[in-house]
Structure 1
Amino acid sequence: MKENTVDIQTLETIFNSMVRVMDQSKNDIFIISEQSRKNFEDMQKELAEVKVDISRVITEGDYLESMTRHSRLRLADVSKNFTNYSEAQVREAYEVANDLLVKLSINQMEEKQLRIRRDELDRRLNALLETIERANHLVGQVTTVINYLNMDLKDVGEALETARHKQEFGIRIIQAQEDERKRISRDIHDGPAQMLANVMIRSGLIEKTFVEKGPELALLELTDLKEMVRGALYEVRRIIYDLRPMALDDLGLIPTLRKYLSTVEEYESGVEIHFQNTGRELRFKTDFEVSIFRLVQESVSNALKHGKSKDIWVKIEWLRDIMNIIIKDSGQGFDQNEVKDKSFGLIGMRERIELLKGEMSITSTIGNGTIIYFRIPLREEIIAD
């Protein structure tokens, strides 16, 4: 019986060649990531310039609209009292009015083009960010594989265990994303879609009621329909806010939070939200403003959904180099030892606060409500230019 033999040198050559190819692939991916990052930074600068231009054009537009109104009044007066003005004055009134109208039209066109460019840059930035994240993820994966191939055999078990944990966490993230998609789909189906279907039915009934029973009963039905439409509008706004608060880019963190909390208070029957903001407000870069908004949104949502609270206090305090956020409720509270890190909401909040290099603490006992405290350092790299 012939014995199987293994050419160790050949295996070593193949092994080393595989490691070299993977290392080169890692370098190539890293170069792509760095190029994308540079494009991302350049595009961010361009976006900032475009936003400055939009602000300038809006200001100029307001001025031109005011001047155009004055010129029209002047032109109307000249046309009405034609005999009181010289030919030169009449011509001047017409020319000034026409010139301002042309400038206003150009201004409006420029504003529209700038807004289109801003939206395009936003989309491209999101695509680039996704490319960078994927490239970084691939670099991490390739590096992990290379390390596995080069490490001592005694470390393989530990490395595989680490990889298993990463895979499990990745699966949990994917499951959470799928659950979120299902939730949004269910929210739209059970909320606005059902309400709009009912609106169609009720509108037909109102028409029939008006014909058969008169305007008074039809008016009562119309009042109910108005409440139904109002509820559908609230559901749509809530879903949009859950996806992304669009007002953040234009208004900033504090006005957007104030608007969000006011909307929650308006549509959550019997709920009172006390909002307090002290100190000099700052604007953060987009990703960080979204992260801070989500921290408050998740905290308020938990107070309503799980805490069943009717009173919620949101306090934001701006200090010299620290931003403090306190969310307190009078709800049911929970057992911290029991919940701990099992909640995806708490996991997401901790990930966001780590991104901000801040601190988070939760104090809660059953029956005594919950207090969530965020401490965020005002680092230069998170503050908008």
Structure 2
Amino acid sequence: MVDITKLEKIVNKTRKIVEKSKEELYQLGESARREYERTKYELDSVKKQISEIIREVEKLEEEYMKARLYLMEVSREFKKYSEEEIKSAYEKAHEKQLELLSKREKEKMLRLTRDHLERNLKNLEATIKRAEELIVNIGMVLKILGNDLELISVEIGEIQQRQALGFSIIMAQEEERKRVAREIHDGPAQSLANIVMRAEYCLKLMELDPCRVREELMALMEMVRKSLQDVRKIIFDLRPMSLDDLGLVPALKKYVEIFQNDCGIFVELTVLGVEYPLESGQAVAIFRVIHEAMTNVKKYARASQVVIKVEFLKNKVNVLVRDNGVGFDVEKVFSEKQGKAFGIIGMRERIQLLNGRFEIKSSPNRGTEVFLSVPVAAR
């Protein structure tokens, strides 16, 4: 048997792990989103710096070109300019050149920083998108885990019911074998042993007192007749021949007659609607459930009267078996798993196998009512 509580614990543990992973993933996504905003701000700042330094470089290039032209003029006309003016022109040109090189290097570094930030920004965008997708997927997993646990419980419940059904069928078969063996041992087997002994006695009596042989043979014939009745009763209990030959109602009438004679309990059999042929499995199941209900009446109910109603409708057959006996607590019997419960479970499962409906109502000192409804092909 599958323990649904253990499975539920495993699923709940898995759900907690997934929920924790979802929370961690959410935090990772939020961290990536904050990093994205910071990187985007930094990128915007770097782009502004690049724009500014480009303007500065352009201005410096222009100033540097002027300084070089002035230096070239001073160099050509050095007689017109003093040594101090030539030195000043050279230093200014050199200063502008160094400043221009510095600005260009800074521009290059800023461009590298910008490219790096843009790559990071794309990676962060992909990370955020993937995190959001994973959060959605994990949400779906959690939903599936929540929904599927109920479905799994139902399916496992059905599997366990089928297992229980198989077990109860085996138990019912074993109980039936024990009952038949006991009846044969206590009835026909004992009678046959007595018949053999009486036959041997007749053989001896023929030598000693032939006049008494006729009397003993008559008693022997009565014993054989009684044994034959017992065998026929056992055969009827196993499967009444009239059920196959004549149908459900004639088999029930024969059974009710035998039941009244054996138990002294009055049974009223009422048939509503027009009887029609049933499939073999349906007829046997209905008969067996009624037989089991009547067996429970005989064993436990201490009833004086039983009502059996069989109703043939267009698409189903309804049966009601009601007695005026002592009744019982249905829930208590099921919980205690007594032998009586096995009989009731077997009745219910026979009808469930036919996709039918089975109900049993009872309470102490208020009798018992067994109802079943079996669907049939529309007539």
* Larger Cα-atom Rg: 2
Q: Which structure has the higher relative contact order (CA within 8 Å, separation 6+)?
A: 2
With normalisation by structure 1, the TM-score equals 0.49
TM-score (norm 2): 0.50
